């Protein structure tokens, strides 16, 4: 099963995913972490 959690910026998607992880013990992938790995570090300076 795949559950996608979407929403506007700063509306609690990550918090919801983390709570679901704790309750159902299922893995999750944060798109935030994925995006951080794709953006070159020099563009963040």
Kindly write down the DSSP assignment for every residue of 1-45, as one continuous string. -------STTSSHHHHHHHHHHHH------HHHHHHHHS-GGGG-
- pLDDT at position 42: 63
Q: What is the pTM of this model?
A: 0.59
pLDDT, mean of residues 8-30: 87
Task: Specify whether the CB–CB gap between 29 and 35 falls below 8 A.
Answer: no
Confidence bin at 23 (pLDDT 50/70/90) = very high
């Amino acid at each position: 099963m795949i559950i996608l959690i979407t929403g506007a910026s700063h509306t609690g998607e990550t918090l919801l995913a983390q709570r679901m992880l704790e309750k159902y013990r299922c893995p999750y992938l944060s798109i935030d972490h994925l995006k951080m790995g794709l953006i070159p570090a020099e563009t963040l300076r």
